[in-house]
Amino acid sequence: MVNSVTNLGRNGLADWLVQRVSGVVLLAYMLVVGFYLFCSGSDLSYEQWSGYFDSTFMRVFSTAAVLSIVSHAWIGLWSVSTDYLTERLMGGRATVLRLAFQAASAVVLFTYLVWGIQILWS
Amino acid sequence: MWQTVNDKRPVNLDIGTIALPITAYTSILHRVSGVFLVAGVALLFWLLGTSLDGPEGFEQAKACLASFWGKLSLWIVLVGLSYHSAAGVKHLVMDAGIGESMEGGETGAKLVLAATAVLAVLAGLWIW
C-alpha cells in the first residue's frame, strides 16, 4: 500500500493544480527566452545576454521558472515512484526503494533550486 | 496482491496483459520524457550559469554549443522538452473538456507526435 505522505500538495487536487500552473509558467518562460534567443541570432554578445538576465523582470521570471521546475519535477517524480515502485510491482522492498528514490529526487531538486538561485542572484 | 478493498491505489486492470492504444504509448512517453528532463535540465542550468559567469564563461558556453556533442546534447534535450510541452498542452486542452472521447484522445496523441516532429526539425535547424 502506498500512503500519500510525501506528495507536494497534501492532496491530489492541489498537486494537479500546481502541476498545471508550474507547467504554464515554464511554457511561457520557454517562449519568452526562446523568442529572445531566436531574435538575437548568432551575434548575441555577453553584454546583451547578461543585461537581459540582470533586469528585475527576468530575475523574477527566472526565479519563478526555477521554482516551477522544482515543484513540477517533484510532483512528476512522486507520481512515477508511487505508481511503479509499489509492492505489487517490486515486492516487499518497494517501500524502502520508493523512499530512497524520493530522497534522491529531493536532493537533486534541492540542488537545482540552490543552483538556479545562485545563477540568478549572485 | 491487491485483495483488499481499502487499498488506497486499487488496480483494476493488469496493463501488461492487454493491447495498448496509441494514447497509452504517448502517455508513457510523457512520463519517460519528464524523468529524462530532470537530468536534461542540468545542461540548460549549466549553459545559463556558465554563459552568465563573465565574458570567458560566455565564450566557453558558445564553444560548447559549437561542438558536435554540445549541439547533439542540446538537440536531444530540446526534443524531450518539445514532446513534454506538446503533451502538456494536450493535457490543458483536455482539462478544458476538448478531445476527451477515445477518438479525440487518439487524434490528440497523433497531434502531439506531429507537433514534436515539427519542433524537433525546427530545433535542429536552429542549432545547426
Region B82-87: mean pLDDT is 98
Q: Write the ipTM.
A: 0.94
Per 3-state DSSP, chain B is made up of helix, strand and coil in percentages (nearest 5) of 75, 0, 25
Tens digits of residue pLDDT in A73-85:
999 999 999 999 9
Distance, C-alpha A99 to centroid of its chain: 19
Region A29-53: mean pLDDT is 96
CATH at A83: 1.20.1300.10
* Cβ contact B34:A109 at 8 Å: no
Residue corresponding to grid cell 498545471: A20
What is the residue extent of each domain of chain B? 22-127
What is the gyration radius of the CA atoms in chain A, in angstroms?
Answer: 18
What is the tally of structural domains in chain A?
A: 1
Record the cell numbers describing residue B76, joined without a space.
536531444
Confidence class for position B1, pLDDT limits 50, 70, 90 = very low
Distance, C-alpha B84 to centroid of its chain: 3
Spatial distance between the Cα atoms of B85 and B108, rounded to a whole number of angstroms: 13
Query: Any chain A CB within 8 A of the CB of B54?
Result: yes
Q: Which contacts qualify for B52-58: CB closer than 8 Å, 24 or more apart? A: B52/A49, B52/A50, B52/A53, B52/A119, B54/A46, B55/A46, B58/A46, B58/A49, B58/A50
In a domain, A2, yes or no: no
Task: Give the HSE-up count for residue A115: Cα atoms under 13 Å, Cβ half-sphere.
Answer: 18
Mean of the per-residue pLDDT values for chain A? 94
Region A77-104: mean pLDDT is 94
Region B75-89: mean pLDDT is 98
Closest CA to A67 of A120, A31, A103: A120
Region B38-44: mean pLDDT is 98
Q: Where are the beta strands (DSSP E) in chain B?
A: none
Spatial distance between the Cα atoms of B38 and A77, rounded to a whole number of angstroms: 9
Fold designation for B22-127: 3 helical TM bundles of succinate and fumarate reductases (1.20.1300)
Q: How far is CA B30 from CA A26, A52, B4, in A?
A: 16, 32, 31
Of A4 and B117, the one with more pLDDT: B117
Question: Which spans in A41-55 are helix H?
Answer: 46-54
**Statement: residue B95 has pLDDT above 80:** yes
Record the cell numbers describing residue B124, joined without a space.
535542429
Residues of B in contact with A46 (CB under 8 A): 51, 54-55, 58-59
Structural domain containing residue A36:
12-121
Query: Any chain A CB within 8 A of the CB of B52?
Result: yes
Query: Any chain A CB within 8 A of the CB of B13?
Result: no
Tens digits of residue pLDDT in B47-79:
999 999 999 999 999 999 999 999 999 999 999
Query: Any chain A CB within 8 A of the CB of B99?
Result: no
In a domain, A80, yes or no: yes
In a domain, A3, yes or no: no
Residues 15-44 of B with CB under 8 A from A: 31, 34-35, 37-38, 41-42
Closest CA to A46 of B10, B60, B11, B118: B60
Region A27-55: mean pLDDT is 96
Region A14-32: mean pLDDT is 97
